């Protein structure tokens, strides 16, 4: 009854080929990651030590560590997210839960989409004009953080809207039917059930903010800055700072006769912190998913 | 009968350019079970959404005509949330909110500002008993409402609709997702409730309307074909031939 006709055989062959090709493509994604990480680790090996993390650069940045750059990057990321996360999430809640289809909201939508497509170097110029000069924040951590915040905002809005839209409309209708206001509905049902997606979107922007060089180079990051040891908050907000991405660029292009392993070790610190944050994002997502309630 | 509970006058509803309800008028008496039958796309669900003004959430809908509850026009109600609490609404598919069973029922009272645990406890038990669900869930009130079976979730939805002590209860094809035994249990619940609640029963099951409704309205394409006591609508000789055909499955 289930005879293997030529037609059936062809179908099975197609199925096997499709599966093989698709899985090969997916598996090929592992190769660049392994190559990048492996290459960086091997080249950075001679300079790797705990001291590299917590020491000042010495000898015109040819020796020593990346401490001020690491701290500077943490400053920039935390401050920029402190601005862009609340604004982005709340704006997305408005756009997804309240906004009706009128010209104003279409305009907002268009602004968000286009802002997400602006290259980071243009954000850098905007930050220079708006925050460094017009707002008179000067060449400082504040200007650089705000520039990064403007750059990450549209992506945060987009990812948050997607997370909110994944909550079924029937939940909202059930709430409205028993006399809940929109805000009560959002607080009780919509936000708790989209929080994992929202957080994932936010944390992915952390690694983006940490990695960008152009926006901070124009607005607040310097080649070298000595910071005092032993205080938890060594930078003032109106000072300029060092940053890992910028430091890497400097070492690789501006410093002659630098030991080869130093820029690679810097790259590894940047890569490791970004991967660490991504791993945190994934585990947080897994944790929140496990509590997903429908 | 005294003053009618709900008066609908020349109600017209359009979604954008498409008119779905064409100027219908009827009255619902206090504490009756008012059946609404009709094929899909006849405007039954839209009618309910006009009644509790959740139609406001649909941007392209435009409503004309008046609906009054207790003589008060719902369009001019200031506290629309209070209005919705006076009207319990049960959707066709059960919606257990992703909250605990307890919180599902306590949600509406909490939204209305009731926070005392002692009062909430009593109210939750009362509503779950009314919806014939208490015995099955009393030992696991704090587990998730979404983990219940479909029939249990539908009774949870009914308990939630009763939790704000409505004077009107609207059931929109409540039985399409549940088994006949549960349906019969809920029908018994409705017979009990009608002593102090007005019930609007929208149903695809003409037999259900025949069993429960005092009066039945037959809607077709946004117009009333017939509205009369159920004995008449479901008799051998309703006023309109179409009604007989629909009820007996000869329609179309």
Residue of B nearest to A173 (CA): B54
Q: Tell me the sheet residues that pair with B69.
A: B6, B72
> What are the chain B neighbours of A179 within 8 Å (beta carbons)?
81-85, 108, 111-112, 164
Point out the residue among B52, B146, B163 whose CB comes nearest to the CB of A294: B146
How far is it, in rounded angstroms, from Cα A288 to Cα A266?
A: 33
How far is it, in rounded angstroms, from Cα A77 to Cα B244?
A: 72
Chain A, 123 to 182: residues with Cβ < 8 Å from chain B are 170-171, 173-181
Q: For the segment B190-227, what is each residue's pLDDT rounded down to a tens digit?
A: 888 888 899 999 988 888 889 999 999 999 888 999 99
Do the Cβ atoms of A177 and B52 come within 8 Å? yes
Q: Is the distance from CB of B48 to CB of B170 less than 8 angstroms?
A: yes
Q: pLDDT: is A81 or B205 the higher one?
A: A81
Domain ranges of chain A: 70-225+234-290
Please check whether residue B185 lies inside any domain of the structure.
yes
Q: Is the distance from CB of A160 to CB of A201 less than 8 angstroms?
A: yes
CATH topology of domain A70-225+234-290: MetI-like fold (1.10.3720)
Which DSSP string corresponds to A242-283?
Answer: --HHHHHHHHHHT-TT--THHHHHHHHHHHHHHHHHHHHHHH
Q: Any idea which of A50-64, A68-82, A155-169, A211-225 has the lowest mean pLDDT?
A: A50-64
Please check whether residue B252 lies inside any domain of the structure.
no
Please check whether residue B1 lies inside any domain of the structure.
no
Residue B40: predicted pLDDT:
82
Do the Cβ atoms of B95 and A171 come within 8 Å? yes
Do the Cβ atoms of A180 and B57 come within 8 Å? no
> What are the chain A neighbours of B163 within 8 Å (beta carbons)?
178
How far is it, in rounded angstroms, from Cα A84 to Cα A177?
A: 34
> What are the chain B neighbours of A195 within 8 Å (beta carbons)?
none
User: pTM of the full predicted structure?
Assistant: 0.83
Phi, psi dihedral angles at A118 (to 5 degrees)? -75, 130
Residue B211 to chain A, least CA–CA distance (Å): 27
pLDDT along chain B (252 residues), means of 10: 85 91 92 90 89 87 91 88 91 86 92 88 92 89 87 90 92 85 87 90 88 92 90 87 86 58
In this structure, chain A runs to a length of 294
B107 touches A at CB < 8 Å: yes
Residue B32: predicted pLDDT:
92
CATH number of the domain residue B184 falls in:
3.40.50.300
Residue A280: predicted pLDDT:
85
Point out the residue among A179, A193, A292 whose CB comes nearest to the CB of B81: A179
Q: For the segment A131-153, what is each residue's pLDDT rounded down to a tens digit?
A: 999 999 989 999 999 999 999 99
Residue B213: predicted pLDDT:
92
B52 touches A at CB < 8 Å: yes
Residue A98 to chain B, least CA–CA distance (Å): 10
State how many domains chain B has. Answer: 1
Q: For the segment A205-249, what is each residue's pLDDT rounded down to a tens digit?
A: 988 899 899 999 999 888 888 887 777 777 888 888 899 999 999
Do the Cβ atoms of B144 and A192 come within 8 Å? no
Q: Which residues contact B83 (CB under 8 A, 6 or more apart)?
A: A179, B52, B53, B69, B74, B77
> What are the chain A neighbours of B97 within 8 Å (beta carbons)?
171, 174-175, 188-189
Which of the residues A96, A168, A174, A175 would you substitute to probe the B interface, choosing the one with the greatest number of B C-beta atoms within 10 Å?
A174
Q: For the segment A1-13, what is each residue's pLDDT rounded down to a tens digit?
A: 677 788 888 999 9
Residue B82 to chain A, least CA–CA distance (Å): 6
Point out the residue among A100, A170, A188 whose CB comes nearest to the CB of B59: A100
Please check whether residue B101 lies inside any domain of the structure.
yes
B144 touches A at CB < 8 Å: yes
> What are the chain B neighbours of A175 within 8 Å (beta carbons)?
97, 107
- Output the average pLDDT for chain A: 89
A104 touches B at CB < 8 Å: no
> What are the chain A neighbours of B157 within 8 Å (beta carbons)?
174
Residue A291: predicted pLDDT:
67
Point out the residue among A177, A179, A189 whose CB comes nearest to the CB of B98: A189
Residue A172 to chain B, least CA–CA distance (Å): 9
Cβ neighbours of B29 (radius 10 Å)? 16
Q: Give the H or E element holding residue A63.
A: strand A63-64
Q: Determine the structural domain holding residue B231 and report its residue range.
A: 6-247
B98 touches A at CB < 8 Å: yes
Q: Is the distance from CB of B101 to CB of B143 less than 8 angstroms?
A: yes
Residue of B nearest to A179 (CA): B81
A188 touches B at CB < 8 Å: yes
Residue A3: predicted pLDDT:
75
Residue A293: predicted pLDDT:
56
The closest alpha carbon to B72, from B162, B165, B166, B3, belongs to: B3
Do the Cβ atoms of A178 and B98 come within 8 Å? no
């Amino acid at each position: 009854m289930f005879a293997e006709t030529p037609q059936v055989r062809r179908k099975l062959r197609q199925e096997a080929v499709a599966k093989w090709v698709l899985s090969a493509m997916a598996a090929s994604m592992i190769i660049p990651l392994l190559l990048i990480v492996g290459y960086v680790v091997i080249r950075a090996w001679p300079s790797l030590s705990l001291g590299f993390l917590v020491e000042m650069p010495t000898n015109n940045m040819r020796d020593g560590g990346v401490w001020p750059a690491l701290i500077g990057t943490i400053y920039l990321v935390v401050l920029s997210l402190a601005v862009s996360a609340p604004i982005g999430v709340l704006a997305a809640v408005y756009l997804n839960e309240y906004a009706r289809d009128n010209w104003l909201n279409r305009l907002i939508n268009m602004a968000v989409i286009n802002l997400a497509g602006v290259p980071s170097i243009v954000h850098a110029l905007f930050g220079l004009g708006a925050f460094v000069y017009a707002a008179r924040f000067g060449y400082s951590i504040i200007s650089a953080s705000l520039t990064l915040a403007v750059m990450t905002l549209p992506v945060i809005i987009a990812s948050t809207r997607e997370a909110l839209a994944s909550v079924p409309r029937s939940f909202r209708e059930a709430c409205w039917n028993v006399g809940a206001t929109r805000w009560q509905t959002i607080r009780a049902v919509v936000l708790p059930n989209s929080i994992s997606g929202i957080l994932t979107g936010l944390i992915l922007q952390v690694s983006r903010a940490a990695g960008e060089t152009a926006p901070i180079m124009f607005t607040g990051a310097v080649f070298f800055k000595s910071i005092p040891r032993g205080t938890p908050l060594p930078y003032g907000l109106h000072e300029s700072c060092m940053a890992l991405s910028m430091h890497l660029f400097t070492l690789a292009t501006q410093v002659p006769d630098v030991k080869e392993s130093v820029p690679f070790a810097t790259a590894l610190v940047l890569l490791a912190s970004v991967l660490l944050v991504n791993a945190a994002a994934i585990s947080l997502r897994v944790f929140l998913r496990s509590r997903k309630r429908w | 009968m005294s003053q009618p509970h709900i008066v609908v006058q020349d109600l017209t509803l359009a979604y954008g350019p498409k008119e779905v309800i064409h100027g219908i008028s009827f009255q619902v008496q206090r504490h009756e079970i008012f059946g609404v039958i009709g094929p899909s796309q006849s405007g039954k669900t839209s009618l309910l959404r006009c009644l509790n003004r959740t139609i406001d959430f649909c941007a392209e809908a435009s409503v004309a005509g008046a609906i009054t509850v207790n003589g008060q026009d719902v369009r001019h109600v200031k506290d629309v949330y209070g209005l919705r609490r006076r009207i319990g609404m049960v959707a066709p598919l059960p919606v257990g909110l992703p909250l605990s069973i307890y919180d599902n029922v306590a949600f509406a009272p909490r939204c209305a500002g009731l926070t005392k645990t002692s009062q909430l406890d009593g109210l939750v038990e009362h509503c779950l008993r009314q919806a014939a669900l208490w015995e099955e869930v009393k030992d696991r009130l704090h587990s998730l409402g979404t983990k219940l079976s479909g029939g249990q979730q539908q009774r949870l939805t009914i308990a939630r609709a009763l939790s704000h002590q409505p004077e009107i209860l609207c059931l929109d094809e409540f039985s399409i997702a549940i088994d006949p035994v549960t349906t019969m249990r809920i029908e018994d619940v409705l017979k009990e409730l009608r002593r102090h609640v007005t019930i609007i029963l929208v149903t695809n099951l003409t037999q259900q309307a025949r069993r429960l409704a005092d009066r039945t309205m037959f809607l077709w394409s946004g117009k009333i074909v017939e509205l009369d006591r159920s004995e008449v609508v479901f008799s051998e000789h309703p006023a309109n031939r179409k009604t007989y055909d629909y009820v007996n499955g000869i329609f179309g």
